[in-house]
A and B are shown apart, each in its own frame.
Chain A
Amino acid sequence: MSLDLVLDWWVNNERLIDLLVTALGQTILMVSVAAAIGFIFGIPLGVLLHLTKESGLLSNGRLNKSLGVVVNIGRSIPFIILLVALIPFTRFVVGSSIGTAAAIVPLAIAAIPFIARLVEGALLEVPSGLVEAAQAMGAKPKQIILKVLLPEALPGIINAATITLVTLVGYSAMAGTVGGGGLGDVGIRYGYQRFDAAVMMMTIVILVVLVQVIQTIGDYLVKRVDHR
Chain B
Amino acid sequence: MIEIKGVNKVFYQGEREIKALDDINLSISEGCIYGVIGSSGAGKSTLIRCVNLLERPTQGSVRVDGTELNALSNKELTLARRKIGMIFQHFNLLSSRTVFDNVGLPLELAGVSKQAIKEKVDSLLELVGLAEKKDSYPANLSGGQKQRVAIARALASDPKVLLCDEATSALDPATTQSILDLLRKINKEFNLTILLITHEMAVVKSICSDVAIIGGGKLVEQGPVGDIFAHPKTELARQFIRSTLDLSIPEDYLARLSSTPTEKSYPLVRLEFTGASVDAPIISQVAREFNLDISILSSNMDYVGGIKFGLMLAEFFGTEDATEQAITFLKKSKIEVEVLGYVA
A residues at B contact (CB < 8 Å): 127, 129-130, 132-140, 143, 147-148, 151-152, 154, 225, 227-228
Instruction: Name the segment of B34-42, B85-93, B233-241, B303-311 touching the other chain.
Output: B85-93
CB-based closest 6 A-B pairs: A133-B92, A138-B82, A227-B137, A138-B81, A136-B86, A129-B92
Give the Cβ gap from B147 to chain A, nearest Cβ, in Å: 13
| B92 with A147: CB separation less than 8 A | no
Q: How far is the CA of A129 from the CA of B87 in the complex (A)?
A: 11
Query: Which residues of chain A have C-beta atoms less than 8 A from B85's C-beta?
Result: 136-137
Give the Cβ gap from A77 to chain B, nearest Cβ, in Å: 35
Query: Which residues of chain A have C-beta atoms less than 8 A from B105's C-beta?
Result: 134, 137, 147
**Given known contacts A138-B106, A140-B109, what 11 new A-B pairs fall within 8 Å (CB)?**
A127-B92, A129-B90, A133-B86, A134-B109, A135-B81, A136-B86, A137-B86, A138-B81, A143-B109, A147-B105, A227-B95
Contact of A135 among B54, B90, B94, B96 (CB under 8 A): B54
| A133 with B96: CB separation less than 8 A | no
Q: How far is the CA of A139 from the CA of B79 in the complex (A)?
A: 9
| B139 with A147: CB separation less than 8 A | no
| B84 with A136: CB separation less than 8 A | yes
Q: How far is the CA of A143 from the CA of B106 in the complex (A)?
A: 11
B174 interface contact, C-beta 8 A: no
B334 interface contact, C-beta 8 A: no
Q: How far is the CA of A134 from the CA of B97 in the complex (A)?
A: 13
B157 interface contact, C-beta 8 A: yes
Can you offer 17 A-B residue contacts whose CB atoms are under 8 A? A132-B54, A133-B86, A133-B88, A133-B92, A134-B105, A136-B81, A137-B81, A137-B106, A138-B81, A143-B109, A147-B105, A147-B108, A148-B94, A151-B97, A152-B94, A152-B95, A225-B96
| B96 with A136: CB separation less than 8 A | no
B78 interface contact, C-beta 8 A: yes
Query: Given known contacts A137-B82, A227-B137, A227-B139, is B96 in contact with A132 (CB within 8 Å)?
Result: no
Query: Given known contacts A137-B153, A152-B96, is B52 in contact with A147 (CB within 8 Å)?
Result: no
Sort chain B's interface into a size bin.
Answer: 20 to 34
Contact of B139 among A130, A140, A228 (CB under 8 A): A228
B280 interface contact, C-beta 8 A: no
Query: Which residues of chain A have C-beta atoms less than 8 A from B80's C-beta?
Result: 138
Give the Cβ gap from A148 to chain B, nearest Cβ, in Å: 6
Query: Given known contacts A139-B109, A147-B109, A228-B139, is B94 in contact with A130 (CB within 8 Å)?
Result: yes
B110 interface contact, C-beta 8 A: yes
Query: Which residues of chain B have C-beta atoms less than 8 A from A133's C-beta?
Result: 86, 88, 92
| B108 with A138: CB separation less than 8 A | no
Q: How far is the CA of A187 from the CA of B156 in the complex (A)?
A: 61
| B92 with A151: CB separation less than 8 A | no
Q: How far is the CA of A175 from the CA of B97 in the complex (A)?
A: 42
Q: How far is the CA of A41 from the CA of B301 in the complex (A)?
A: 67
Query: Which residues of chain A have C-beta atoms less than 8 A from B97's C-beta?
Result: 151
Query: Which residues of chain A have C-beta atoms less than 8 A from B84's C-beta?
Result: 136
| A132 with B106: CB separation less than 8 A | no
Q: Which residue of B lies closest to A153 (CB)?
A: B96
| A132 with B92: CB separation less than 8 A | yes
Give the Cβ gap from B189 to chain A, nearest Cβ, in Å: 20
Give the Cβ gap from A20 to chain B, nearest Cβ, in Å: 41
Query: Which residues of chain A have C-beta atoms less than 8 A from B156's C-beta?
Result: 137
| B109 with A228: CB separation less than 8 A | no
Q: How far is the CA of A132 from the CA of B165 in the complex (A)?
A: 12
| B94-115 CB contacts (< 8 Å) to partner A | 94-97, 105-106, 108-110
Give the Cβ gap from A151 to chain B, nearest Cβ, in Å: 4
